[in-house]
Amino acid sequence: MSRDIIYCAAGNRVLIVCGIIGVCQREKLVLGEPIGSFLKKALQRLEYRGYDSVGFAVIDKDRRITLRKKKGKLAEIENILGFDAFDGVVGIAHTRWATHGEPSDRNAHPHIDCNGCVVVIHNGTLQNYQELKELLISRGHLLRSDTDTELIAHIIEEKIREGLTPLEALRETVKTIKGAYAFLAYICKEPDKIFFAKNVSPIVIGLGNGFNMIASDIPAMISHTKRVIVVEDGEMGYISPDTIYIEKDNNTPIDPMSRVITVDWTPEMIDKGGYPHYMAKEIYEQPIAIRSTLAGLPDQITDEILRILLRARRIYIAGAGTSYHAAMVIDFMMRNIVDLDSRSFISSEYLSTLRSLDDNDVFIAVSQSGETIDTLMAMRRAKSMNAKVIAVTNVLGSTIAREADYKIYMRAGPEIGVAATKTFATEVITGAYIVEKLCLVRGIECSQLSKEIRISPSITELIINKYFKEMESLSKILKEARNMYFLGRGSTLPISYEGALKVKEISYIHAEAYPAGESKHGPIALVEPGFPVVFTIFDDEYGELIINNIEEMKARGAYTIIAASENLERQLKLANKPIALPTMRTPVASAPYVAIHQMLAYNLAVSRGYDPDKPRNLAKTVTVE
């Protein structure tokens, strides 16, 4: 896949989550249809981003605000919301993917201030949410939702009450909030405008005749304009039917016209935000997904969670498919770094594994969807034996999250590709972060682990950008293979299993993973000249041990692909295809290094003519046992 086709605002720096659209028109029907109909169609074009609720506000010339919102998918609720019946001069609309507060009617956007004069929609997460919420409540604000977004409306309300103009209020609001955001605000003091501000989350302005619009992505606007301005981090301003005002760093105006670009998109590119497949989009999203996970963890990993883990007699960690492999990494770190008595297992094996638990034991359910029946059943069995239950999941309000005693959300954004990618990386990072905190409580030295957690987003970014094309070329060499092995030792075993799973589920090449040391006890019998064997090696105590296993495979003529820390020159020299990766020494490396396996599997599927987003016989979420 050419990097050129990746649209910059929806590219590898942003977390795809929530959809935003706003429009101001000089008169009704300048858009050629009621504003409500336009908003509905725009949201449909943003559906690929994933969402759980929908809402909009339409404002007419005499400042009357109509606000409607509801939990559910557009197709199910569009008639209840009745978009087409509403016309006006300003409209904003939103598809929400829950981050603060479960999916519900009242948490859906837009949100309003106490006086009903400021209406806000938002994409992103505010890091100082808790602190701002307490402050606003102490000042007498009435909060009607559990969202971070609503806080923005109340902060603007305060600033306006202090006598600031809407633009000044916006500047002050941006100084107050921390985190990732792209938000739109209607402020009734200046009723022909939509104010906006952006940091990290994407936002694009669309230029028209007698109207201007603003959205989280170009597809929402493409029916009405192809002339756009990509808003950059740290910028804010407003649009009105005839003006666009942008400023940077809190009051340096920018000439918007110098930034206008004309886009020419195919429908294929539009649906997937510029990527040929959701899986590619989600592979590229990993750096920002990991950043988002890391930003959300400090508030969630409470002292109580750490205490129950450190006091546990045994810790059971269960997951299915990719989540099981993440459970393996978490288990490995808990045993080897913190010296806890943990064990990971495949969720569906709960009957044979969970035999005699009690309230001294802890069970951790790892599940992207939070709905996988095998993991849910395992969790219920552990709970019925009084074990304390922690859920690590990506979906707010999912069944596993609801039934757990403690929940930890990854906040990786929606994952649509059936083959999990970014949620593996973020599950691993969640586990690594917990392990880091456990080390700190126990006084265990973990500076290397801490460092690798923090650099994992940039290393993942580097690996993806450097190796996507190489994995595409490698896939051309391997595409006729009928079998493959993925071998690892110790720390690299879980991502070897994950690599084999990815290859078999989307490219349909038979792939197996083994502990490299075990490969001589049977698997090697299949190896003949040209048989592809992928070794993954971190710079740790297993890096030396694996050399013999590589030699054994080479002696049988295997085609060796070695993805290793770049300082492991002896190991890399043994490869037919060496892949030298930034040196990492702890199991945190599982998150960045797995991108190699994902990109190889993805490109193998594409080279063999299969659609990686629609693997046969598989479902994203499996709710039958």
Residues annotated catalytic, as ranges: 18, 620
| Closest to ligand G6P by CB, 92 or 98 | 98
Q: Residue 353: beta bridge partners?
A: none
349: CB partners within 8 A, 6+ apart: none
Q: What is the closest distance, in whole angstroms, from the C-beta atom of residue 511 to ligand G6P in the complex?
A: 15
Contacts of 110 (CB under 8 A, 6+ apart): 55, 56, 57, 67, 69, 92, 94, 119, 120, 121
Residue 123 neighbours by CB under 8 Å, 6+ apart:
17, 18, 19, 20, 181, 182, 183, 201, 202, 203, 216
DSSP-assigned beta bridge partners for residue 486? 513, 534
Nearest distance from C-beta of residue 625 to ligand G6P, angstroms:
12
548 alpha-carbon distance from chain centroid: 38
DSSP state, residue 232: P
- CA dist., res. 328 & res. 334, Å (int): 10
Q: Which is nearer to ligand G6P, 121 or 418 (CB)?
A: 418
The two three-digit tokens of residue 9, written as one number: 């605002």
The nearest distance, CB 321 to ligand G6P, in angstroms, is 3
The Cα 499–Cα 485 span in angstroms is: 9
CA distances from 180 to 14, 64, 152 (A): 10, 31, 13
Write down the least CB distance from residue 501 to ligand G6P, Å. Answer: 8
Task: Decide whether 392 or 487 has the Cβ nearer to ligand G6P.
Answer: 392
Residue 98 has phi, psi (to 5 degrees) of -55, 130
The nearer residue to ligand G6P, 368 or 536, going by C-beta atoms, is 368
Residue whose CB is less far from ligand G6P, 139 or 616: 616
What 8-state DSSP symbol labels residue 588?
A: G
Nearer to ligand G6P, 188 or 622 (CB): 622
Closest distance to ligand G6P from the beta carbon of 612 (Å): 12
CB 255 within 8 A of CB 290: no
CB of 624 to ligand G6P, least distance (A): 11
DSSP per residue over 554-587, as a string? HHTT-EEEEEEETT-HHHHHT-SEEEEE----SG
Quickly tell me which residue has 């200046």 as its tokens: 190
CB 194 within 8 A of CB 22: yes
Q: Which is nearer to ligand G6P, 157 or 374 (CB)?
A: 374
Nearer to ligand G6P, 67 or 622 (CB): 622
Residue written as token pair 């971070």? 148
CB 125 within 8 A of CB 180: yes
Q: Residue 217 gets which letter from DSSP? A: S
CB 214 within 8 A of CB 243: no
**DSSP string over 172-193:** HHHHH--EEEEEEEEETTSTT-
Residue (372 or 491) nearer to ligand G6P, CB: 372
- Tokens 């938002």, residue located: 122
* Token pair belonging to 267: 């429908």
Give the shortest CB-322-to-ligand G6P separation in angstroms: 3
CB 305 within 8 A of CB 403: no
- State how beta strands 532-537 and 559-565 pair: parallel
Residue 116: CB atoms within 10 Å: 12
| Least gap, CB of 490 to ligand G6P (angstroms) | 23
**Which CB atom, from 35 or from 599, has the smaller least distance to ligand G6P?**
599
Contact (CB, 8 A) for 408 and 297? yes
Give the Cβ contact number of residue 216 at 10 Å: 31
Site residues (vs ligand G6P, CB under 6 A): 320-323, 367-369, 372, 375, 418-420, 618, 620-622
CA dist list (Å): 304 to 100, 312, 622 = 21, 12, 31
- Residue 623 Cβ, how far from ligand G6P at the closest point, in Å? 10
Query: What's the min distance (Å) between Cβ of 254 and ligand G6P?
Result: 43
